[in-house]
Structures are given as structure tokens and as C-alpha cells.
Amino acid sequence: MSDLNSSICISSVFATALELAGIEKPEGTDSANPVITAMAKKKLGDKKTDRTVIYNPDAVALWVYQKYTDKFIPAQIRTDFSLPMLSVMPSVTPVCFASMYTGVSPDIHGIRKYEKPVLKCRTLFDSFVENGKKCAIVSTSGDSISTIFLERNMDYFIYDTVEEVNEKALEIIEKDEYDLIVIYNGDYDGTMHRHGPEAAESLAVLDENVSFFAELSDKIEAEWKNHNVFLGFCPDHGCHEIDGGCGSHGLDMEEDMNVVHFYAIKQV
């Protein structure tokens, strides 16, 4: 693994969301992200967040952010900071999201290759539900987010297209019925696999992902006037170009392991 890899792992999302919401994290899980908890302390003092929204665009690498920074302006200006984050190995979608939402490494949660079994260990959703909170996943059919977290006492909104996913996400923000909402868009990943990470088609989809996040943030600010909100833009892994101009990921290399996250604490 390169010495240039980020120091904070995506598995910290689990404990961070719990700590901000005032829920104790289970023993043996990764620590909360100290940058986010410091920002929450500065903004909220001893108050806790009562809404958590995590947007998961797939395969948005740190190097893509560094090379095409202007494409991320809509996300940057709506959040408190961007952070380089470290993925897990193998850097493939179900492994990464399992770590993000359990706070543990692949050897503990059990997904260690590209497969999509329903996780039997404790997840962020379980911890929220056990503390009386209502959770929802909004995702596309067959993808990791819509598969590995099934069989929980929560709501699943699974659609055929990203457009339907995004429309539903905005709708449930407006209805304001959920304490934790996770939204998945996998279209940049799918496009870059076919055309390469920097192809015009891929960068156009990246623009759409960032634009939707901006719309999501604006919707939260407009509709949730009485909530303290933890909002995250949280990709799972990066990507790199391979022979033939296509894109790939899954290796222990900087391009695949380093991602960019954006975070905001939106206060009443």
C-alpha cells in the first residue's frame, strides 16, 4: 500500500454517524472521524444530530477530484469540508459499503470479494432502528446498497433507474419521516467501466451526481428547518483506466484506494 494513501478509512462513517446522533458505537468498530466530530462540536455544542443523510455516488476517486476540482464546486460550497478518505481491500463496491456501514474490516463483516450476501452482523441501520429511529435506503435494483442491507426493520425504495432514485429521495426529504436516509447512485461507476474514468460520457455523469447532491442539500435546507443534520457525500472506492480505454478498480493502488468525501453539519 502506498505511503500516499489517506489516513482516515471509510469505515469511520459508521461510528461518526452514531456519535453525532448520540448512539454508542459497538466495541471493536472503527473510531469516529475526528474532523467531523470536531466540526459538530463547534457547530452544535452538546446537541446531537436528529437527521442523517448519506449520499453514495459510486467510484468517485480522490484523483478525479484533484484533476477536475471545478466539477465539485456545487458540493464544495454546500458542505463544511472535503476530506481524502481511504477505502478497503478489495476495493470493490459490496466490500466497501459493508465496511462503511458496519465500521469493521472485510475479514470481520465477511464480504471479501465481489458478492452481495445479506449482512448478518450489526450495521448502522440496526443501531439506528434499535434506538427507535426510522431508516430508509433509496437505491437501484440489484446494486450492493439495495442487497446487502436487506432484512432489517426499515424501508427500502428500490428502482430501475437513477432518475427514479433521486426523485424518491427528494420526495422523502420533503415528507420528513426518516431519521437516517442512504441514497445510492451507481451511474458514474457503470459509465467509467465502459468508457474510462475521464471519458466525456463519464464526466457528464459525474456532473449529474454532484448536481443531484447539491439539489439534495438545498432540499434539506428548505424542508428541514427544525433539524440538526449530518449530510455526507461518500463514495466507496476510486478507479483507474485500463487497456482499451475502459475503467476498473479493486486493486491496492492509490487510484482505487483514495476517495473524496464531502461533509456538512446543518444546524437549526
Domains of the chain (ranges, CATH numbers)? 12-266 (3.40.720.10)
Question: Which pLDDT score is estimated for 2?
Answer: 55
Q: What percent of the chain has pLDDT over 70?
A: 99
Grid cell in block for residue 158:
428500490
pLDDT score of 113 more than 90: yes
12-19 average pLDDT score: 98
> How far is residue 26's CA from residue 143's CA, in Å, rounded to a whole number?
27
Residue 30 DSSP class: P
Q: How confident is the model at residue 243 (pLDDT cuts 50, 70, 90)?
A: confident
**Strand residues in 66-150 grouped as ranges (E):** 81-86, 135-140
- Contacting residues for 243 by C-beta, under 8 A, at least 6 apart: none
In this prediction, residue 268 has a pLDDT band, given cuts at 50, 70 and 90, of confident
Residue 61 has pLDDT above 90, yes or no: yes
Beta bridge partner(s), residue 82: 262
Q: Nine-digit cell at 75? A: 458540493
What global pTM score does this model have?
A: 0.96
If one compares 9 and 243, the residue with the highest pLDDT of the two is: 9
pLDDT at residue 5 greater than cutoff 90: no
pLDDT above 90 covers a percentage of the chain that reads 96
Residue 6 pLDDT more than 90?
Answer: no
DSSP H helix total and E strand total for the chain: 12, 9
Neighbours of 243 (CB within 10 A): 6
